[in-house]
Structure formats: structure tokens, C-alpha cells
Amino acid sequence: MNKFKTVLVQPILAMLIGVAMVSGAQARDQIEIVGSSTVFPFATSVAEQFGRTSKFKTPVVESTGSGGGLKLFCAGIGLEHPDITNASRRIKGKEFKNCQAKGIDITEIVVGFDGIVLANAKGAPQLNLTRQQIYLATAKMVPNPDKPCQSNWCEPVKNPYMKWSDIDASLPDVKIEILGPPPTSGTRDAFQELAMSKGANKFPHMKKLKKADKSMWKKLTRTVREDGAWIDAGENDNLMVQKLSANPKAVGVFGFSFLDQNSDRLKGAIVEGVEPSFENIADGKYGISRSLYFYIKQAHVGTVPGISEFVAEFTSEKAFGEDGYLVDKGLIPLPASERQKYRNDGKNLTKLSM
Amino acid sequence: MTDHSNLTSHAEAYEARLKKRYRAERRFRAYGMAAIITAGMILVFLLSSIVYSSLPAFSHHHMRLDIEVSSDYVSADAPEQGNYLGLVRSALRDQFHDVSGRRDKRALYKILSIGASDEVQKRVIANPDLVGTRLSLDVPLSDDIDLMLKGLIDRTLPESDRIVSDRDLAWVDKLLAEDRISRKFAVALFANGDSREPEMAGIRGALAGSLWTLLVTLIVSFPLGVLAAIYLEEVAPKNRATALIEVNINNLAAVPSIVYGLLGLAVFINFFHLPRSAPLVGGLVLALMTLPRIIIPTRAAFASIPPSIREAALGVGASRTQVIMHHVLPLAMPGILTGTIIGLAQAAGETAPLLMIGMMAFIVDVPGDVTAKATVLPAQIYMWANNPERAFVARTSAGIVVLLTLLLVVNATAIYFRRRFEKRW
């Protein structure tokens, strides 16, 4: 019986005491970062470099998605909450209000651009698309091609386009098969907003609808088809690259860095006559690109050691500059004047107001 | 002789039925064989494809670099503060005298891994007398150069189609001609924590995280599970209340694991304020998940002990506690351990609940205790699969190989225990 006590009961007691002790004292000497999976590869690169070259511990970076990150970030001030959150879109007004309600003052830093590309295997035909064609290939409901449109309204029908050549005779005579990011992903949000909605607006009636009934417009332009032509694949996933190179008919939707790293296997579709290249995205010529952000919790600067230094590292020329190591990881840098602006914002902890 | 002809027709019918039965038996065996062979082939295909694609991760190309440990970069008095990266880069410049200009030099530095200076740093800090001497060391090359040398990047493609430029190729060819490049076992894969550079990324942090997490799981779920099972099987009266508990336990075993993650987030992190991303919380969540998976086999082990053992012990005057502790529990132990080990193996492969409590994170440091930030093996594999760098494909498979090996060892232990201590009645 004594043996039984030592074997079974004591560890439980020890655990409970341990739990109680840990929850009592919680000092932190390590920066905690959450947020977007698109910014994740850049934030982790900076974190690693920062850990190597400074006297501080390597920050912990969690990939929670932009929305999930902002939710955790705005939950409160205190060491159990993260210090920085990454986002592949700007903070929304509602999220900002939630943050304000908790008394959290934040600083906004734009780190660079990310292009969203459509790519297929090297051996497959080169796609040359307009955003309108992208919309027609991916939306669930499209204007009825057999009925002429009125000035204000087109009858929406279930997407009838099964081959690229059904959309436009210049496109290849191949079944539409798109591997895209899942609904939880910020890449998908950006694709819907920048490619699909903008493509839909090429129809005059859609532009009018946007003003008249925004929620209907959103529903029509941003719902992805569910008939099998669009397949939810991993987001930014090396498996997707392998699937694409094995299946020349398939087209993938993902961040530019994957195209950049796999330029020997994949080629990007030309969108609106512009090739998805580093230069074209940096110049803003390539249409489907977005800014990447991170947000700093001002109250934690000085409490958690190293936040200012980490921000300085992230916004240094050797990181997010034109020849910086983040560029090697696929980040597309901001113009020099903007880099200077955000470097100053980071230094002075300029308060964001909306 | 009607009797006789009747007899032959009986015999023929009998023969026919017998043949039919034999045929049915042969068919049945063939189906079984086919099922086993199909399953076996799928397994062989899966394993061989994973092992094959993991092979490149187990070795890495290094180059021999002659390093002048000059006091310009490192002082013998304070070797910790030395500029080792600069030291290695200047040694590389000495190797290629014709490279000049800032851009060209930067391109040259990129053929080396960012971890190239680690070994020099380690040696000089251990032995400051090395300052002022000349070292000849094998330092790791960058991931792209390594892939090219392994033949995973085709160097015959036009320059625009590959990551490695013609200039890189010329430099590497020069090194090859001087016999400076060697292929070595990738120690980093087992010695390092996570990294954004594939050649520096290692499994050690995740392995340690997994072990800490499983330790917490074991400490919490084993005693709780065994005590609950003993009580339910041996002590509790059989009534509606215990029947309800039993149904619930069986139900809990089938609850999707993400639910436990949400529970862990709400209870351990938001209510008890335990740290995020810690093996302590991960272990507690997995313990909840493992509990029913320990209780059920433990109860089965108790139920399989013949009543005669209990009756004999009671007959010679043992108390109920003595019956359980001295006789039933030791006999049921092999079954309990097998159940526990298989439950833990399942917990070791779990990612979904850990996602919610922040264990899917980039963590460089190897965790040293249950409250340090940590990730686990399956989470590490998932994160590597998501990285854009090509070399992470092999790293991902290597991670899977390590995880499979761990599970194989654990399951083999379970089988050993069963064989060693099992008693049959």
C-alpha cells in the first residue's frame, strides 16, 4: 500500500503543486508573436536572426492566421497575451475598437508586399488571363452567358464554364482545375478581394450592384465555386507544388515566394498582361498583390525585454531592404521612402488611430 | 439394384458439395490473402516513398575552409563577442580573390549557410588560444547549393529556370576541382532546434517537446485512469449511475481531439492562466484525451482475471484492498501497460488539440522543462511542410521517419510487455 502511494498519489500532488506555482509567478523574457501564416516565414527569419545576433532570447512565433492573431493580441495587456501580431491584411475597424476597449495602443508597421500568383507546371501551356476571366473561372455564380445583360442586372447562373476555352477561345482547351487555399486562409481572402471582386467589377452591372446592394455584391463576387473545379488544397504548401508539377492541367493559387523557390518546375500566369515577377510586384504593376503588416502592443515595450530591438531588426535595411535577407525568403520590399517611414514609426512607437 | 444406384447418386452429390465447400474455402483464403497483400503493398509504398524522399536530409555538403582566426575579428580576451560571421566571410573571400564589388561579395557569401560560423565560434570559445592560428574546417554550404550537388536541382536547365545562378555554379565547380567539397552526415538534423534555414533546422527541439509533453500526460493520466478503472470494475456497485459513467467514458474515447484542445484553451490557459505553448498545458490536454483510452483497456484487463483468483484470496482472509493490490492489479498490469503505451503513442501523434494551445509555433530553443515554450514532432512536421524552401521537403520526410521510429519503439515495448508478463487461463 505504501508503494502504491508513492507510485500513484505523489506525482499527482506534485503536479498540482507545480500547476499552482506556475500560475502564480509568470515573468517572461521572451517575445511572443502570433498571427498570419503569410507573414510567418518572414517573422520567423527575423526572429532567428535576432536570436543569433542579439543578447535576447529568440522570440516565439505562432502561426494563427491574421484574424486569430488579432483576436489573441487584442485580448488584453499582460504577460499572458502576445506582444506582436502579424497580419496579411490591415486591422479592421471592429478589431481596432476591440483593442481600444481593452486600452491597448498599437503601432502599425508595413513590412512589404506579397503577390498572389496563379501558376501551373512548366510543361503546361502559358496562361494569359484577365481578372475578369479569373472571376469567371472561380466564382460560384456568374452572369448568364446566353442572355444579354441589361444595364443594371445580369441573371446570375451556376458557373457553366468547365474548360478554360469556354471562357475565352484564346485560352487553352483544358478542364478548369484550380488548387487554391482553404477558407481559413488570408491568401484566399486576398484572392477573393483582389482577383475575383475586381474581375467581376469589369461587368458594368456589378459595379452598380456594389453601390446598390453591397452584401449581395459580396456574395456574388466572392463565393468560390463548389462544383469541383476549385479544390481546397493546403495553403502555401510544398505538396501543392508537387501536385502541380505532376498534373499539368492543374493551376495553383499561392503566394509569390513559392513560385520564386520553384521557378524550375512552375510558371506563373500572366494577369492583365503583367508577368508575376519580383519587379512587377514591387512596382505595383502586378494586380493581385497586398501589403503585409505587423502590430506592436505599446504597453509591452519595456516590460518584455527586446521588443524595440526586434522591431529595429525587422525594419533594418539588412532585413526588409532591397538586398535584405527577407527578400531571399520571397518578401517584396517597400519603396525606400516608405521603409524609412515605418522604421521611424517603429522607433517612435507612433500610435495608430483609425 | 436400386439401392446401389441411389447410393452412387448420393455419393456424387456429396462429392459435388464437398468440392464446392473446398472451392469456397480456397476463395475465402484468396480474398484474405488479397486483402493482406493490398494492405502490405500500400504500407510498403508509403514507407518507401517517405524514406526515399527523406534520404537527402540525412547528409549535407560542406566545404573545407582555411580560416585565419585573426585578432581583427576575435580577441582572445573576450571570444564570446567575436565577429565570427565576418571571420568566415573573410576566409571565403581569400578563397576567391577575383570576386570584388559589394553585390558580388554578397552573392558569394550566400553559398555558405548562416550556420557556417557556428563551429568556429564553438571551438574558439572553448579554446581562446586558437586566436592568431590557422584553422581548417568543414563548414556547411547553403541549402540551394547542397540540393544542386545532390542533383535535386538540375544544373543543365537554363539559368532563368533554376535557383542556383551560373556564377554560383562556377564557384562550386572551382571548389569541386580543388577537392574542398565533402558530403557529411547531417548532425544538425538531430542536434538543433527549429530554424528557417533548412540546413540548420533540426528535430531536437520538437523531440524534447514531445517527450516533456508525454511525460506530463503519463504522470496525470496513468494514475487517474488506473484508479478510475479499478474503482469502476472492482469496487463500484453496478447501478444506473455507474452505467451512465461507463457510457460517457466510451463516448469520450470517440470525441474528436480538437474538442480537447478547445477545452484546454478555455480551462488551462484562459481560466488557470497557465503559459501558452508549454508542454505542461499540452500534456494536460493530451492526458484528458488519453484517459478514456487508458480506462477502457484497464477495465478489460481487470475483467479478464478469473474470479477464482479473487475468491481464493478472499477465502484465505485477504481484505478487498489486499485482493486488488496483491493479486488482481499485478496480474492485470501487462494489459494496463499495453493500453497505456498505445494511448500514449496515439497522444504522441496528435496535432489538432495542440494547435489551439499554441504549440504550433516557431521555437528555436530546445525546451528544458515543462513550462518552457515547445512544439511537438507532428506539429514540427506540419510546419516544415509549409515552408517554401525546397530542402524542407526532405526535412519533412525525415521528421516523419523520426516520428515513425519513435512510435515503432513505443509499440514494440508494448508488445514486449505483453509477451513477457501475460498469463493465460
**Predicted pLDDT of residue A23:** 46
Are B196 and A30 within 8 A, CB to CB? Answer: no
- pLDDT above 90 (res B362): yes
> In whole angstroms, what is the distance from residue A113 CA to residue A205 CA?
31
> For A78, left (φ over 0), alpha (ψ -120 to 50), or beta?
left
- pLDDT above 60 (res A256): yes
**Predicted pLDDT of residue A24:** 42
Of the given ranges (A172-176, B72-76, B90-94, B350-354), which has the lowest mean pLDDT? B72-76
Of the given ranges (A186-190, B191-195, B229-233, B330-334), which has the lowest mean pLDDT? A186-190
- pLDDT above 70 (res A166): yes
Show residues of chain A in contact with B154, CB under 8 Å: 264
pLDDT, average across residues B54-74: 91
- pLDDT above 60 (res A115): yes
pLDDT digits (tens, 9 = 90+) for A1-34: 445 445 545 555 555 555 545 544 457 889 999 9
Query: What is the CATH number that goes with domain B204-421?
Result: 1.10.3720.10
The C-alpha of A101 sits at a distance from chain B's nearest C-alpha, in angstroms, of 19
> Where residue B152 falls among pLDDT bands split at 50, 70, 90?
confident
Are B273 and A23 within 8 A, CB to CB? Answer: yes
Where in B73-211 does DSSP place strands (E)?
A: 134-140, 181-185
Helix axis angle, B84-95 to B118-126, nearest 10°? 120
Are B388 and A329 within 8 A, CB to CB? Answer: yes
- Locate the chain B residue with the closest alpha carbon to A235: B386
The C-alpha of B348 sits at a distance from chain A's nearest C-alpha, in angstroms, of 20
**Predicted pLDDT of residue A238:** 75
CATH architecture designation of domain A115-289? 3-Layer(aba) Sandwich (3.40)
**Predicted pLDDT of residue B116:** 87
**Cβ–Cβ < 8 Å for A121, A266:** yes
pLDDT digits (tens, 9 = 90+) for B13-52: 999 999 999 999 999 999 999 999 999 999 999 999 999 9
Interface mutation vs chain B, best among A52, A259, A328, A332, most B CBs within 10 Å:
A52
**Predicted pLDDT of residue B101:** 81
**Per-residue buried b or exposed e for B81-112, using 16+ beta carbons within 10 Å of the residue's own CB:** ebebbebbbebbeebbeeeeeeeeeeebbbbb
- pLDDT above 70 (res A89): yes
List, as ranges, residues 120-179 from B with C-beta within 8 Å of A: 153-154, 157, 160-163
- Locate the chain B residue with the closest alpha carbon to A21: B274
pLDDT digits (tens, 9 = 90+) for A271-316: 999 999 888 998 889 989 989 999 999 999 989 999 999 999 999 9
**Predicted pLDDT of residue A236:** 59
pLDDT, average across residues A245-271: 88
Average pLDDT, chain A: 86
- Secondary structure class of B63 (helix, strand, coil): strand
Closest CA to A38 of A186, A189, A191: A186
Are B196 and A41 within 8 A, CB to CB? Answer: yes
Give domain limits for chain B: 2-55, 59-189, 204-421
**Predicted pLDDT of residue A242:** 83
Query: What is the CATH number that goes with domain A31-113+290-348?
Result: 3.40.190.10
Of the given ranges (A224-228, B56-60, B75-79), which has the lowest mean pLDDT? B75-79
Show residues of chain A in contact with B157, CB under 8 Å: 264
> Where residue B122 falls among pLDDT bands split at 50, 70, 90?
confident
> In whole angstroms, what is the distance from residue A88 CA to residue A291 CA?
7
Are A22 and B275 within 8 A, CB to CB? Answer: yes
Interface mutation vs chain A, best among B85, B194, B196, most A CBs within 10 Å:
B196
List, as ranges, residues 249-308 from B with C-beta within 8 Å of A: 269, 272-277, 280
The grid coordinates listed for B178 are 580543388
What proportion of chain B, given as a percentage, has pLDDT over 70?
A: 98
Contact pairs from chain A to chain B, CB under 8 Å: 121
Q: Which of B153, B325, B358 sits opposite A264 (nearest CB)?
A: B153
Q: Which of B103, B106, B361 sits opposite A61 (nearest CB)?
A: B361
Closest CA to B276 of B377, B373, B194, B376: B373
Q: Which of B223, B277, B389 sits opposite A60 (nearest CB)?
A: B277
User: CATH 3.40.190.10 in chain A, residues?
Assistant: 31-113+290-348, 115-289
What proportion of chain A, given as a percentage, has pLDDT over 70?
A: 91
Of the given ranges (B97-106, B199-208, B370-379), which has the lowest mean pLDDT? B97-106
Of the given ranges (A205-219, A282-296, B388-402), which has the lowest mean pLDDT? A205-219
- pLDDT above 60 (res B283): yes
β-sheet with B181-185: strand ranges across: B134-140, B59-68, B181-185
Of the given ranges (A85-89, A125-129, B175-179, B419-423), which has the lowest mean pLDDT? B419-423
The C-alpha of B21 sits at a distance from chain A's nearest C-alpha, in angstroms, of 48
Are A264 and B365 within 8 A, CB to CB? Answer: no
- pLDDT above 60 (res A164): yes
Of the given ranges (A173-177, A234-238, B102-106, B415-419), which has the lowest mean pLDDT? A234-238
pLDDT, average across residues B212-217: 95
Are A237 and B358 within 8 A, CB to CB? Answer: no
**Predicted pLDDT of residue A14:** 55
pLDDT, average across residues B128-155: 89
